[in-house]
Amino acid sequence: MGSSGPLDGITVVDLSRALAGPHASMMLGDLGARVIKVESPGGGDDTRSWGPPFVGPDDSISTYFLSANRNKESVVLDMKDPADSNVLARLIRSADVLIENFRPGVLDRLGFPVARLTELNPRLITLAISGFGDGGPEGERAGYDQIAQGEAGIMSVTGPDPATPTKVGVPIGDVAAGMYGAFGVLAALHERERTGRGSVVRTSLLGALVGMHAFQGTVWTVAHRVPVTQGAHHPSICPYGLFHASDGVVQIAVGSESLWRRFAPAFNLPVDDARFAVNSDRVRHAGELREAVDAAFAEFTTEALLEKLDAIGVPAGRVRNLQQVYEWDQVRSQGLIIDVDHPVLGRMQLPGPPLRFFDIEGSEWHRTHAAPPLYGEHTTAVREEFAP
């Protein structure tokens, strides 16, 4: 693999803001694409003002913005200004990918409908991310992650009990839409190699969250049962979830009959009790079994319990806070923390990309990452580069 990455030579014009679109463009930037982030006058990306926490002089830099904008250039353009609109048109002519997450129809009103984008650049791949999809009776709705989590059913299967619908602790709808969007862009770039023509890729927060329903979706579509939250336990496997040691909590995954037959006798559980004979029985009697497991685990400290579970080969783990995650040697060994040089904050660490690339000899490609840009940091340089 070349030192510049698998997307070396690809240029992305990113008109998006907040999180779904910026996450997609960041993924492409991580892979070596050049990402030019176009921000509006008056402050730019909304997330630059989202906080606290803020850092830097006068607490002026949002940590939220820093989370989704590494490896990008920032240029300020007023899309309603004819001169700036012309700069954007020249950017589009030279780009491979355009990313936008306006409400459906807004880009058209700004003078860049698909027909014009195609006229400017027939090879352009356009990624459009919306809240609830393009078209349909509610396609015009604004998309915000927590609202989408509720509307897409994610909150109904998350939380301590069915009466307490709970959002996921990270903006999973935004992140998933960005991931699906980047995946679609890569597929469209591959297709372009065959056809020579660009295309439009569309996804949404709603689509991404429904796409992540996994087994919960088929509980309804096939079995016609409405799934509800099981708290910190799996609804279809038992015991699988969070249990209490004497000084904390431990999670276990007894995901097969062979694991059950190792696990049960090790903790004096009735392995041949008819209530617990096979997984479907254990799920039907989950309350009783979970109480028995908690009682058995209460005799152990967290560390002693994890050692015992490891010794018998039962998958288990602790529940870490984010400080513990980022200080964990395993996380660092996987390149999940990166060092960047920020023009104001200096040397700092960011969460890193989850993909790693190796050539057939086993050598790993290492990306040199750039810090998220200051607002308009590259405006002058980009304007000069794309001058008429």
Q: How many other C-beta atoms are found inside a 10 Å radius of the C-beta of residue 304?
A: 13
pLDDT per residue as tens digits for the range 310-345:
999 999 999 999 999 999 999 999 999 999 999 999
* Same topology between domain 11-212+333-385 and domain 240-320: no
Confidence of residue 66 (pLDDT cuts 50, 70, 90): very high
Q: Annotated catalytic sites, by residue?
A: 174
218 pLDDT above the threshold of 90: yes
Q: How confident is the model at residue 104 (pLDDT cuts 50, 70, 90)?
A: confident
Smallest Cα–Cα separation from 27: which of 182, 237, 177, 150? 182
Q: 11-212+333-385, what's its fold? A: Rossmann fold (3.40.50)
CB atoms within 10 A of CB 378: 17
Q: Which residue carries 């997330």 as its tokens?
A: 47
Single pTM value for the model: 0.93
Find the mean pLDDT for residues 340-364: 94
Give 162's pLDDT tier (boundaries 50, 70, 90). very high
**What are the residue boundaries of the structural domains of the chain, listed by start?**
11-212+333-385, 240-320
More confident of the two residues 2 and 28:
28
- Cross-strand pairs, 74: 37
SS3 state at 80: coil
Average pLDDT, integer, range 83-95: 96
Per-residue pLDDT band at 42 (split at 50, 70, 90) = very high
Q: What residue ranges in the chain does DSSP mark as E strands?
A: 11-14, 34-39, 54-55, 61-62, 73-76, 97-100, 125-130, 199-204, 240-244, 249-253, 316-317, 337-342, 346-351, 357-358, 364-365
The CATH number of 240-320 is 3.30.1540.10
End-to-end CA distance of the chain: 35
CA distance 22 to 44: 13
Which tens digit of pLDDT belongs to each residue from 371-386? 999 999 999 999 999 9
pLDDT at position 388? 80
* pLDDT, tens digit (0-9, with 9 covering 90-100), for 130-158: 999 999 999 999 999 999 999 999 999 99
Q: What pLDDT score does 236 carry?
A: 95
215 has a pLDDT exceeding 50: yes
Average pLDDT for residues 210-217, to the nearest whole number?
97
C-alpha span between 28 and 331 (Å, rounded): 22
Give 254-299 pLDDT, tens digit per residue.
Answer: 999 999 999 999 999 998 899 999 999 999 999 999 999 999 999 9
223-249 mean pLDDT: 96
Residues in the chain: 388
Per-residue pLDDT, averaged over 20-30, amounts to 98
Phi, psi of 340, rounded to the nearest 5 degrees: -135, 160
Confidence at residue 45, expressed as pLDDT on a 0 to 100 scale: 95
Contact in structure between 374 and 74 (CB atoms under 8 Å) = yes
In the structure, what pLDDT confidence band is assigned to residue 103 with cuts at 50, 70 and 90? confident
pLDDT of residue 3: 54
Residue 2 is predicted with a pLDDT of 44
| Closest alpha carbon to 344 in 39, 76, 41, 66 | 66
Question: Tokens 């405006």 map to which residue?
Answer: 379
Give the mean pLDDT of the chain: 95
- Backbone φ and ψ for 45, nearest 5 degrees, come out as -50, 130
pLDDT given for residue 105 in this prediction: 87
Q: Are 370 and 72 in contact (CB under 8 A)?
A: yes
Token pair, residue 340, equals: 């960047």
Share of the chain above pLDDT 90, in %: 94
Residue 1 confidence (pLDDT) above 80 = no
Residues 6 or more apart from 13 whose CB is under 8 A from it?
A: 36, 38, 88, 91, 92, 95, 97, 98, 99
